[in-house]
Structure 1
Amino acid sequence: MKNLKKERATVLLLDGLTDPGNLGAVLRSCDLFDLDLLVLPTRRSAKINGTALKASAGAGVYVSYAEVNNLARAIRELKEHDFWVYGADVEGEPVWSVKFPPRVALLLGSEGGGLGRLTSEHCDQMVTIPTGGHIDSLNVSVAAGILLYELRRRSVSPV
């Protein structure tokens, strides 16, 4: 995680995402919204492979990523480097009302299981994307795209 020395940085951590197609869609958003680092667990996680790269429409080759043995430890390390960690959860604070600091780490879980207990305990705050339909969650790749867009929107000055 040594390439995160910038004053303003965004990291995305994926907890339990096992579908390579979804990972590919996340990779596409990571590139489009200029993510600094994607963090994946080495176990119980989709890999950046041919399927994921194809689903990313080629964007995956431009995304910096790290595989870690222990996601909770990676979160602690990010906090030691002045990152504020936000977990995505339906019970969180609406994303539009959160004042994000310059160094943000977003933690997203799988569609089926959400965030793991151990990783969610390390979050500083939970955020949600308010919705109005009958179901209560978005596909993880859609949620990643919306959250990364919101962070990018706030970090770019209007011309």
Structure 2
Amino acid sequence: MPKPAPVARQNRHSSPTTGHVPVYDEDDLSLLLDGKENPLVLILDCIQDPHNLGACLRTADAAGCDCVVMPKDKSAPISDTVIRVSCGGAENIPLVRVTNLARAMEKLKKLGIWIVGTADETTKSIYDLDLKGPTAIVMGAEGDGMRRLTGEHCDFLVRIPMVGRVPCLNVSVATGVSLFEVVRQRQGKK
């Protein structure tokens, strides 16, 4: 008997110009990822700026993410700005809003997904980690980065090596670098 497809909850964003954006909840994670041979998930920990959130969703769609997980609280809402900046990413990729991000990360681990957090304070480069298998990339909030508990639930912490004078990248740019490192490694695997 086939498993039922996940159904977006009533928290749908609707706009005359952008259509509908289905939003799923934590209980839908296993159904959304069921049958995915090598899942790629983006976890956004409290992204506040709607332009950054929209850009992250656009990049997640472009990189082939299977879903984006983000907390219900302390994150930008799915607004017209987010939808416009995402250029279709918000409508094309399942968005999973969760009450407890750490618990959702544990569910992903039980599904066989390795959790890779990005953190400026670590020394391991993202380019030195094997990202070919089932992976979730965690991006922290603007300015503060990942929350402590989120970082503690990661299997690995990595950084994007910086060679210039700026200390870090904008979260949407860092998301692109990180997700497309996964894409690059996976293409080399074929």
TM-score higher than 0.5 here? yes
Q: How does 1:33-72 map to 2 (within 5 A)?
A: 33-72=63-102
| In structure 2, C-alpha distance between the alignment counterparts of 1:14 and 1:94, rounded to whole Å | 20
Structure 2 SS opposite 1:156: helix
Q: How does 1:119-158 map to 2 (within 5 A)?
A: 119-156=150-187
Measure how far apart 1:57 and its partner are: 2.2
The CA deviation string for residues 93-121 of structure 1, in whole angstroms up to 9 with x for no partner, is 11111112511011110121111011101
| In structure 2, C-alpha distance between the alignment counterparts of 1:12 and 1:144, rounded to whole Å | 9
- Match in the other structure for 2:57: 27
Measure how far apart 1:25 and its partner are: 0.5
Structure 2 SS opposite 1:43: coil
Query: Quick check: which has more Rg, 1 or 2?
Result: 2
- Match in the other structure for 2:19: none
User: Structure 1 segments of 4 or more deviating over 3 A?
Assistant: none
TM-score (norm 2): 0.79
Q: Which runs of 5+ in 1 are unaligned?
A: none
The CA deviation string for residues 111-154 of structure 1, in whole angstroms up to 9 with x for no partner, is 21111011101111101110111122111100001111111122
Q: Which runs of 5+ in 2 are unaligned?
A: 1-28
Match of 1:98 among 119, 124, 129: 129
| In structure 1, C-alpha distance between the alignment counterparts of 2:183 and 2:110, rounded to whole Å | 23
Do 1:93 and 1:128's aligned partners in 2 also have CA atoms closer than 8 Å?
yes
Match of 1:4 among 7, 16, 33: 33
Do 2:116 and 2:136's aligned partners in 1 also have CA atoms closer than 8 Å?
yes
TM-score (norm 1): 0.94
- Structure 1 residues 48 and 92 mapped into 2: Cα distance closer, same or farther (>3 Å)? farther
2:91 maps to amino acid? V
Q: Which has the higher strand share?
A: 1
Size of the alignment, in residue pairs?
Answer: 159
Of the structure 1 ranges 23-32 and 98-107, higher mean CA displacement relative to structure 2 is found in 98-107
- Structure 1 residues 105 and 141 mapped into 2: Cα distance closer, same or farther (>3 Å)? same
Match of 1:13 among 43, 49, 52: 43
- Match in the other structure for 2:115: 85
Do 1:84 and 1:101's aligned partners in 2 also have CA atoms closer than 8 Å?
no
| In structure 2, C-alpha distance between the alignment counterparts of 1:75 and 1:3, rounded to whole Å | 14
Measure how far apart 1:58 and its partner are: 2.8
- Match in the other structure for 2:15: none
Structure 2 SS opposite 1:93: coil
1:106 maps to amino acid? I
